[in-house]
Amino acid sequence: MGYLAACFSVILVSVAQLAIKYALSELPPVWSMRVLWDSAPSQWLLLAAGLGCYLLSLIVWYFALRQLALGKAYAFLSLSYVLVWGGSHFLPEFSEPFSWQACIGVLAIVVGVLLVCWPSREGKIPASL
């Protein structure tokens, strides 16, 4: 159940980051408050939804932390970098340029999470003894 909560939290925080990025990229600069306030309501709703996803991910993360070891939980949280990177490349709203360096970094994150979260064999007695 802990890994399920962690997965859900990672997905929520990734959706929040992508939604907030998109909403803020469509809003005018903050220093023109009048124009900012008169902006499209859909952008404000998207911004509010992104912030709501952040809040919900925090609540779900609370449950994940209660059931997982801290080291495994925080390693798992780094998967949000992978999801946001993927979203920034594959969602047409962002269309960020592909970089092999970033791809290798993302693969390193995935391998690192697998190494940290993989079940260990410590404490198990070999069958041959």
Q: pLDDT tens, 96-111? A: 888 899 899 999 999 9
Closest CA to 19 of 67, 56, 51: 51
Structural domains counted in the chain: 1
39 SS3 class: coil
pLDDT of residue 72: 86
How confident is the prediction for the chain on average, in pLDDT? 84
Confidence (pLDDT) at 25: 81
The answer as to whether 122 is a domain residue is no
- Answer whether residue 123 is part of any domain: no
Identify whether 72 is part of a domain.
Answer: yes
* Residue 50: inside a domain: yes
For residue 125, being part of any structural domain is answered with: no
**Residue-number span of the structural domain to which 58 is assigned:** 2-117
Asked whether residue 129 is assigned to any structural domain, the reply reads no
Dist CA 109 CA 81 (whole Å): 8
Residue-wise pLDDT for 27-71, tens only, equals: 766 666 666 566 667 778 888 999 999 999 999 999 999 998 888
How many alpha carbons lie under 13 Å from residue 1 in its C-beta half-sphere? 6
Predicted TM-score (pTM) above 0.85: no
- The verdict on residue 128 lying in a domain is no
The answer to the question of residue 16 being in a domain is: yes
